Amino acid sequence: MICAARLLNIIMVYTRNLRELAVVGIWALLAISVSNNADPTGKNIVYACYAVSFNILAFVIHSGLKNRKYSIDNM
């Protein structure tokens, strides 16, 4: 499910330019990692959420820098 969330967020940023949706996805993944942090058997889930969150954040930053010329400040 974590990989499905990653794929969904990246597709939405790539096709629809919905960076805000991806930031909410990052927030949700970090909440999942915090809730599983107390469980000693959930460390893999915590690290997977961190990795996927970082991956989505990198994609959001890349998309934002790529579309910088269409910013409201340049209109």
Q: Is residue 47 part of a domain?
A: yes
- CA angle 25–38–42, rounded 5-degree value: 65
Q: Is residue 14 part of a domain?
A: yes
Q: Is residue 13 part of a domain?
A: yes
Q: Is residue 74 part of a domain?
A: no
- pTM score, whole prediction: 0.90
Q: Is residue 73 part of a domain?
A: no
The number of folded domains in the chain is 1
Tens place of pLDDT per residue across the chain (75 aa): 999 999 999 999 999 999 999 999 999 999 999 999 988 888 999 999 999 999 999 999 999 999 888 777 766
The alpha-helical segments, DSSP class H, found in 2-68 are: 2-16, 19-35, 43-66
Identify the helix (H) or strand (E) that includes residue 10: helix 2-16
Q: Which domain holds residue 16?
A: 2-68
Token pair 């969904």 is at which residue? 8
